[in-house]
Amino acid sequence: MPWLFGGALWSSLSLSFVLQVLVRAVGAHSLLQGAALGLALWGGLCVPVLLGTLWEGRKATVVAINAGNYLFVCLLFPSVLAVWL
């Protein structure tokens, strides 16, 4: 169980680091610009990967829950970083 929590912490920190690099690279300075960047990343990166997991036999409900989680994270993190940085 500690490895799972450690992995979750590591993945959140690495995602935050990469997102702050992208927020700075595109010059997002407002909440809306950060959210737009997050929405583009979600639609272009997360959704295709999640749809690919349907081939693994996962139920569509599980994929939808994961997609909602990633949508929330991809909208929240860049929005906060755009205002904060």
Cα-Cα-Cα-Cα dihedral sign, residues 54, 57, 58, 64: positive
- pLDDT band for position 38 (cuts 50, 70, 90): very high
- What are the residue ranges of helices labelled H in 1-85? 2-26, 31-41, 47-52, 60-84
Q: What residue spans define the domains of the chain?
A: 2-84
pLDDT for 39-81, tens place per residue?
999 999 999 999 888 888 888 899 999 999 999 999 999 999 9
Q: pLDDT confidence of 24, banded at 50, 70, 90?
A: very high
Q: What is the pTM of this model?
A: 0.82
At residue 85 the predicted structure's pLDDT band, cuts being 50, 70 and 90, is confident
